[in-house]
A and B are shown apart, each in its own frame.
Chain A
């Protein structure tokens, strides 16, 4: 980032404002391309992982080697599909909803620190900002369900909204113990505080943080509406949930947003609990961005493993887990981490 500013200001002769805007536009473009690539790679990965977990191969033909081009072919096919807007639909909302879901997730990507200094929006309220903008996704889903004017979509949207807002509370509470240690919400500060090997990562700092990490992980699966918590899209009951009426590119936006969100929550887990760009062994930090991405992909893999292993839960079990188990446990974690910090005298 510093190098980019220097380049645009000194070599290209821009003033500070122009350099800022240019760098921001470049970062935003990179974010969008990375996000689209992620969606393509993770769809393929999901199908391969699902295949191997179920003792089959998954896609094998497109592109010869293990069907690597399957997701690309799907994307191209979707581009040539008809965009159907049902006659009964509430047009403006119907059109706007997929964009809102996509934006909510992409805006949060802006505050992810990939490497030291390499973050699109270096905000002092970074973590808070991420959770704030991801709430847009809930709005988008409700909007899609309501505007479709379809019973399946409406049920799916109501379930999705109830689930996502419920699990947002343990998600928020689980990250609070970490902020206790860092004393800052800036995403880079949070990562920098974890320097010095695997034992300095926040998961292993104290037992409450360890529990908080797993609470975060469970809540993040529910936040992304993935199995075993994929109530909003239960194909055996609700056809496809809130995107039943969507076709072509608009459906692809929901799909893109789902995988973007999956990677987003994995990256937040890496950033907050798993040491961000630091490598597990101190002193081996020659490729911070690669380290960050590898950890993120491992978290995504864990997510897929859970999805294709556990059966779907019922709605009442889902709500029970959130309100009666996870919220009390995360509250205990917040208070416990505070007491632990004071007792052990650990600061920073």
Chain B
């Protein structure tokens, strides 16, 4: 079972090796003449003002939270999707659909709530 994932590990290793080779090549071929001006943070030419780790628009965090919920939903749909055909063949199609319908309905209720509360507005 797990040996099927061996190629994945090897792809990882090969990619690392190639990346290292290219980085090495550019290290070898490229110039290295650092100075304080060149290594300073780019802010369109003016000196950096204040901390670069600024305060963030709160929507970004909300999006992250919604993403967690909906991504988990999609992940939970996969097992159902894989079982749908066997259940259909066994004549339990209505039951399978109803099961998923309830699951999606719960989510849709939450989705509508968030929408009505204005959680999806980006203003």
Binding site for B on A (CB under 8 A): 20-21, 24-25, 27-29, 31-32, 78-88, 99, 102-103, 106-107, 109-110, 120-124, 128-129, 146, 148-152, 154, 158, 161-162, 165-166, 168-169, 172-173, 176, 179-180, 183-185, 239, 244-245, 248-250, 252-253, 315-316, 319-320, 323-324, 327-328, 331, 334-335, 338-339, 341-342, 347-348
B7 in contact with A110 (CB, 8 Å): yes
Partner pick for B4 among A123, A172, A179, A342, CB 8 A cutoff: A123
Partner pick for B39 among A85, A172, A320, A347, CB 8 A cutoff: A85
Binding site for A on B (CB under 8 A): 3-8, 10-16, 18-19, 22-23, 25-27, 29-34, 36, 38-44, 48, 52-54, 56, 59-60, 63-64, 66-67, 70-71, 74-75, 77-78, 81-82, 84-86, 88-89, 93-94, 96-97, 100-101, 104, 108, 111, 115, 120-123
Which residues in A have their C-beta under 8 angstroms from that of B111? 327-328
Q: Closest B residue to A110 by CB, please name it.
A: B11
B96: min CB distance to chain A, Å:
8
- Decide yes or no: A80 and B30 within 8 Å by CB, A149-B52, A150-B52, A342-B93 being known contacts: yes
Query: In the complex, given contacts A99-B19, A319-B59, A335-B104, what are 9 additional A-B residue pairs having Cβ atoms less than 8 angstroms apart?
Result: A27-B11, A80-B29, A102-B15, A106-B15, A129-B8, A165-B67, A316-B123, A334-B104, A338-B96
A179 in contact with B78 (CB, 8 Å): yes
B7 in contact with A84 (CB, 8 Å): no
Give Cα A79 to B42, complex, Å. 22
Give Cα A327 to B111, complex, Å. 10
Which residues in A have their C-beta under 8 angstroms from that of B11? 24, 27-28, 31, 106-107, 109-110, 120-121
Q: Closest B residue to A328 by CB, please name it.
A: B111
Q: Closest B residue to A25 by CB, please name it.
A: B10
Give Cα A347 to B33, complex, Å. 65
- Decide yes or no: A339 and B39 within 8 Å by CB, A124-B4, A173-B74 being known contacts: no
A103 in contact with B6 (CB, 8 Å): no
Q: Give me 28 A-to-B residue pairs in the complex whose CB atoms sit less than 8 angstroms apart, sorted by A's number.
A: A21-B6, A21-B10, A25-B10, A27-B7, A29-B14, A31-B11, A32-B18, A81-B26, A81-B30, A82-B31, A84-B38, A87-B40, A99-B16, A107-B15, A122-B4, A150-B41, A150-B42, A154-B54, A162-B63, A173-B74, A176-B78, A180-B85, A249-B22, A249-B26, A319-B59, A323-B66, A328-B111, A341-B88
Interface of B is mostly: helix
A88 in contact with B40 (CB, 8 Å): yes
A38: min CB distance to chain B, Å:
14
B56: min CB distance to chain A, Å:
6
B31: min CB distance to chain A, Å:
5
- Decide yes or no: A176 and B42 within 8 Å by CB, A165-B67, A324-B115 being known contacts: no
A24 in contact with B115 (CB, 8 Å): no
B12: min CB distance to chain A, Å:
7
Which residues in B have their C-beta under 8 angstroms from that of A78? 26
A254: min CB distance to chain B, Å:
12
Q: Closest A residue to B57 by CB, please name it.
A: A158
B26 in contact with A169 (CB, 8 Å): no
Q: Closest B residue to A36 by CB, please name it.
A: B18
Which residues in B have their C-beta under 8 angstroms from that of A250? 23
A79 in contact with B4 (CB, 8 Å): no
Give Cα A180 to B74, complex, Å. 13
A169 in contact with B71 (CB, 8 Å): yes
